[in-house]
Amino acid sequence: MNEALSQMRKFGNYAIQKASNCFRKFKFHTTRFYSHWVSLIRSLLRALDAVGSQIPTSDPVMLWQVVLQTFGTSVYLLYIHKLLLIQWMIWLMECQLDTILALLIQNNNKKELLATVNLQTVIRNLALTMEEDSSLMTAMAAKDLKDLLLICTVIAQGVEQINKEKYSEALEAFQEVKGCPSPRRLLAQIHTLTGQSFGKLVQPHCALHCYRKALEVDFTCNSALYQSVLVFRQLGNPKVEIEALHLLYSKVQLKSDKSSSSASLVSPARLCWASCAQIGDKVRPTHSHKA
């Protein structure tokens, strides 16, 4: 039993480090983590077998239910929760939001129908043991990974609402995580998605404000600049539309010609200030929604 639980502990810390590297690069490729997912499941099964617990069917949600019930009050809960973060991440990469909801409900010790609960509410009330082992060196603390998973999951839910043409619900999701500490590139995407939601709600001025904030946070967020071009076209402002298109072209040229600084059409700092002036200052948000 001690050997199985020791393996579970070591893999939990190792997987946290691998997962943090994945999030830092913003590359969500499930195949890259397949071997780790297999190791995770094997660790859980061995731990259950070591304590003589009945192993459920192949349903991973049922497996986690038994694991949490078995080790929920033990000293190993810390490592179980680290493994839970990895499982959460893998399902998030596959956009299995309903499965994530079922997993988090199990962790919160609640037996509720999935149709009666909201993923954002469950995440908001989520309680995980995130103590760190000071003897270990990790690339990212478990708490930081959990916070990043919270943000990414809510964003994924918002994108799902956009695909369902439920733009007000999507906007609510993006607004909830917009103020959370997050990497610069991720925050820029949150602002961009918020702007797209405003655009679908026929509030172009609020959308432009969001695209401006995205560029202020991350100048390399070309999607925000491109979306602003579409809004200017919608507003019938061809002059500013052309200016934004030239700016977008300049940014692409800068990216493709990094080797020669003398060939740059204009400095990144100057472009950033220009983008803020062109995109944000020409049109101010005037609608009731807070961007």
Q: How confident is the model over 14-30, as a mean pLDDT?
A: 43
- Enter the pTM of the model: 0.69
Query: How far apart are alpha carbons 27 and 61 in whole angstroms?
Result: 25
Q: Please report where in the chains the tokens 């609608």 appear, as a residue.
A: 287
Q: Which amino acid is at 44?
A: L
Q: Averaged over 89-110, what is the pLDDT? A: 84
Most confident segment among 130-139, 141-150, 161-170, 278-287? 161-170
Q: Between 38 and 10, where is the model more confident?
A: 38
For residues 196 and 255, what is the distance between their CA atoms, to the nearest angstrom?
Answer: 25
Instruction: Please give the DSSP secondary-structure letter assigned to residue 54.
Output: P
Q: Which one-letter amino acid corresponds to residue 3?
A: E
- pLDDT, residue 274, reads 42
Q: Residue 243 pLDDT > 80, yes or no?
A: yes
Q: Taking the chain, what is the end-to-end CA distance rounded to the nearest angstrom?
A: 54
CA 75, CA 202: separation in Å to the nearest integer?
53
118, 26, 94: which is closest to 104 by C-alpha?
A: 118
Per-residue pLDDT for 278 more than 50? no
Structure tokens at 86: 């990895």
Joined together, the tokens standing for residue 12 give 């939990």
How many whole angstroms separate alpha carbon 7 and alpha carbon 205? 55
Task: Over range 155-177, report the average pLDDT.
Answer: 92
Query: Given this model, what pLDDT does residue 214 score?
Result: 93
Mean pLDDT value across residues 45-50: 85
Q: Are 245 and 229 in contact (CB under 8 A)?
A: yes
Residue 277 pLDDT: 44
Residue positions counted in the chain: 291
Q: What is the pLDDT of residues 201-242, one digit of tens each?
A: 999 999 999 999 999 999 888 889 889 999 999 889 888 888
Least confident of 43-47, 84-88, 249-253: 249-253
Query: Residue 246's pLDDT band (boundaries 50, 70, 90)?
Result: confident
Identify whether the C-beta of residue 204 lies closer than 8 Å to the C-beta of residue 286. no
DSSP label of 32: G
Look up residue 221 and give its DSSP letter: -
Do 45 and 58 touch, CB atoms closer than 8 A? no
- Torsional sign, CA 24, 25, 30, 34: negative
Residue 245: which H helix or E strand, with range? helix 238-256
